[in-house]
Structures are given as C-alpha cells and as structure tokens.
C-alpha cells in the first residue's frame, strides 16, 4: 500500500501558488484543541474554506481534489446559493470521498438534475449534519433533500458535549448565521483545523513507515 500523502499534495500545490487545504475532517471535532477554539471564538464551522483547492482522500487512483464553492462545499461556483432543486447532506458518501466526480452519488443525481447542491462533509456525525441542514439547506427551500445516513456515523459521540451542536437539536430556530460568516469559517478552518489535519497526516505517514516491514502481501494472500 502507498503511504498517506495528503499533506505532501497540499504542499506541492501551495508551492505552485495554488491556495490548497486538506479536506475538512469531521472527526477532528473531537479534538481538545478544536473544542477550545470553538469556545474562544464562539463559532463552530460546518464546512471547508471557500474558493480553494481541497485535497481529499486516496484509495489507489490518486488524491481526489475539488474546488470548493462560496460556502466551502463540493459545488460549482454559485450553485449552493440557490435556487436548488436537490440538496444532498451527509458525510463522506455524500461528499464523494475517494470517488471520481462522475461516479459519485451526487454526480449521478446531478446528471439528471443539474441544480443539485452537495452539502456533504467527510466525518460529520448526525448533529453536525442537522446543523448543515439548518445553516445551508433550509434557507434554500430545495424541492428535494437527499440525506445520506451512515449507521457508523449515526451516534452523536463527542457532539453531545458541544453546546452549539446541541442547540440545533433543542432549538428549532437556532442558527449561527454561517452563510453570512464565511470569512470567520475560513479563518477557523485555516488556523485551527488545517494544522490539526496536517499533523494527523504526518503522524499517519510516520506510522505507515514504521510498519513498512510488515508482510501485508502475506496477510492479503492468507
């Protein structure tokens, strides 16, 4: 297997003068540094940096990349600002993680309904997805909403410890106003989440190299 190299891909793009970031990983919301930043800034982001090259994951065909739209999601410019026929919510299955755009679920829906907006973010759990719906989807009044529910991500886990996320559940009118706060979202993701993600990628690469002598081929044969 190839070592993880998202951090290297981001660095190579930046060296070419391309504004690039690693993909927002919802799993980082469980990190203590993330919780501290949320409390300090009074903001809990639910999307990526807007209008940048986002480097997602790799399952053997090279890293999937996309240009984020004005709200940081995997959409062409202007699409997530409406009008929208179909809105898609969820985690990596909705985002199109590790899948060529034409083969993703959203790509297939969009082939028939061009005004399909993707609001998927890898690793987001159920309360975060509810937040995405409240902040980004509900204001658009789409004709249809497709909500991918991955049973592995249905449990709230760390989300129940995030007061801002719990407000989405307990207050039907609560909103952080994220559509109007993209600059704040961009700053949070760049200054907090991106360093966390890059450190995680480097740690994974080190672990991979430490295990490089393990006989994976023999295990696969077995």
Residue 120 structure tokens: 């998927």
pLDDT of 24 higher than 60: yes
CB 55 within 8 A of CB 23: yes
The continuous run of DSSP H or E covering 147 comes out as: strand 144-147
The predicted model scores a pTM of 0.86
Report how far residue 56's alpha carbon sits from residue 58's, in angstroms, rounded to the nearest whole number. 7
Q: Which residue has the tokens 């994974």?
A: 204
Report how far residue 186's alpha carbon sits from residue 155's, in angstroms, rounded to the nearest whole number. 27
Q: Taking CA 152 as the corner, what is the angle to CA 155 and CA 219, rounded to the nearest 5 degrees? A: 145
- Give me the percent of the chain exceeding a pLDDT of 90: 57
On average, the pLDDT of the chain sits at 87
pLDDT of 121 higher than 60: yes
Concatenated DSSP letters for 39-98?
HHHT----S--TTSEEE---SSS---EEE--TTSSSS-TTGGGS--SEEEEESHHHHTTT
Burial (CB < 10 A; 0-12, 13-18, 19+), residue 208, is: middle
- Chain segment 202-212, per-residue pLDDT in tens: 666 666 566 55
pLDDT of 1 higher than 60: no
């Amino acid at each position: 297997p190839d070592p993880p190299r998202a951090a290297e891909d981001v660095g190579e793009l930046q060296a070419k003068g391309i504004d690039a970031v690693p993909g927002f990983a919802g799993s980082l919301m469980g990190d203590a540094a993330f919780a501290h930043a949320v409390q300090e800034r009074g903001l809990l982001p639910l999307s990526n940096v807007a209008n940048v090259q986002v480097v997602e994951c790799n399952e053997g065909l090279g890293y999937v990349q996309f240009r984020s739209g004005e709200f940081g999601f995997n959409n062409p410019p202007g699409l997530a600002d409406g009008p929208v026929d179909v809105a898609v919510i969820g985690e990596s299955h909705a985002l199109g993680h590790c899948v060529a755009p034409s083969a993703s679920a959203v790509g297939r829906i969009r082939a028939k309904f061009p005004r399909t907006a993707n609001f998927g973010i890898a690793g987001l759990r159920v309360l975060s997805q509810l937040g995405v719906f409240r902040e980004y989807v509900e204001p658009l009044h789409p004709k249809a909403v497709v909500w991918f529910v991955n049973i592995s991500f249905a449990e709230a886990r760390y989300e129940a410890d995030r007061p801002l996320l719990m407000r989405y559940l307990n207050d039907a009118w609560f909103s952080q106003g994220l559509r109007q706060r993209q600059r704040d979202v961009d700053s949070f993701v760049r200054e907090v989440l991106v360093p966390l993600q890059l450190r995680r990628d480097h740690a994974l690469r080190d672990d991979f190299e430490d295990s490089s002598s393990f006989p994976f081929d023999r295990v696969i044969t077995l």
